[in-house]
Structure 1
Amino acid sequence: MQLCYSKQRLKAADGKKIYNDADSKSTAVLATKIDIGSEPDMTTSARRSLAECLHRELYSETIHNKMYTGNAEGLVLAGENARVPILESKIDGLQEQIRDLDSRFSKLQSEFDQLRDQGDVRFTVGYADIRNRFLSTYRRDFMVIKPDEVREVREIINKGNSAAHNGSFKADAMLYRPEGFSDGYDRHIPPRTDRDTFERLYGVDPSVAEKIVYRQTIELLERHATVCASARYQPTDMFEEKFKRFIRALKDTDYARDYLDIQSDQVLELLSAHQEFRAASEGIRWISQDTKEHS
């Protein structure tokens, strides 16, 4: 309820004048405590207790630019209620700051990952020879190549005599850059044109490698490439099925990043696909030398 007052000066408990506006209104607040019981009993007790409050001394107080009149308990309650919107506003401001910090952190993390990837590539011509060997070995052992390709593939493999056992997503993608590579002196390596080899290994075209910067995504792509290109592993149908689902989800989100760290309906499928493929990849069997000799 609201208590109207006009042509009078209200005084606070300390006797100081607090208002002198004939058109203003003060919100009347009474608060008291009663014993818990049945609803009828509590209703009766509340009426009796509130009526008794009216016969006791009441006070007027300005709380956050609004006038309240009531007993001491009522004014305390009014003060607490008046602070709620202020606290909510502060919380909203803090949440906005947190979102901004999260965004800045994600950006910095992505930039850090990109710099780390660039450092990891170590793209000298010698390293390009090694990565060329990895791709060409896979093409020779697991794909059908034309007779006129055999010599070229053999030369590439021989040139990269340092073993390239594992996948390297960023480095391998760079081998497909249209401009090729040069060591700054006399050697130049032309770009690879067998994009189907890269896609069979990593699930995506090398042209999208620049968009994929999330380290956890790259690790899974490299895991698939390593398993597929090595006779030391025995990939399963489940392994390939989960990988294809992961690639579909990755493409559907336009190669989203940080999806393991955010709560969003848009990346739920990608998050699930990531977890399932990781679990499937961890179950891949290592084929021992004894197993190969008796197979």
Structure 2
Amino acid sequence: MHYIKSKGILSAKNGMNLYRGCSHGCIYCDSRSKCYHIEHNFEDIEIKENAIELLENALKHKRKKCMIGTGSMTDPYIPLENEIGNVRKALSLVYQYGFGFTLITKSNQVLRDLDLLKSINDKTKCVVQMTLTTYNEDLCKKLEPNVSTTQHRFEALKQLYNAGIPTVVWLCPILPFINDTEENISGILDLCIEAGVYGVICFGMGLTLREGNREYFYRQLDLSFPGMKEKYIQTYGNQYEINSPNSTALMKLFHQKCNQHGIIHDNVKIFEYLSTFEEKQSDKQLSLFD
């Protein structure tokens, strides 16, 4: 790990990354792409040493309350978080200043902060987003070797639901010839149904590959799926969008099953929900007497 001083913390859309780089080792990781300009070794985590100070200053000076987000580039619950604690510090500030919060993770370590997540949700709105790529535990360990398995994430989703915290699942990426089967998609959706998720985000049955993440992905294919790299090159060449040959049937299954069980599966609606700040009615009523 290494430290830097940052000039700012929140993006124009109120997202933040407290760390840069990741140690989860997911074989398909888009954040390794060169377009994101992570110049250091990806596993050498960059820590913004003044992140919490910058966040408090930003929250103090915001004119309107909003949703604050994290996890779009780096999973907030990398193992280093247990040592540094920036996510928990950020959650405390978000609660203190009355903002909403949403995060994206693949780790059941999110449950460490269940008390703060619940406190934020009781006051405004807190949504936990969890990525699921396969319901097969052995395959999960190959695709995402250094992070909580699907079963552990599923158990976390259930605990979040029981605590009254809404959840959204990212059903991606779907890797052609690896996890692009009806059995896999149906299995993931069964977990979502049982865990009571609010919505499932899906951009299609496939993945994207570009300079940086393509090379890493192919190296991992050689290690875990011998011969698969050659199949990808023969089938897709250097395409950016890699769509499963089973895409049409899988998307039909996805939409049908979500419809049957009342799961929101319109990406536009889900992103609107994630970005909409909500105050609980009790807080609105109390504010009338302030």
TM-score (normalizing by structure 2): 0.23
Q: Answer 1 or 2: higher relative contact order, Cα 8 Å, separation at least 6.
A: 2
TM-score (normalizing by structure 1): 0.23
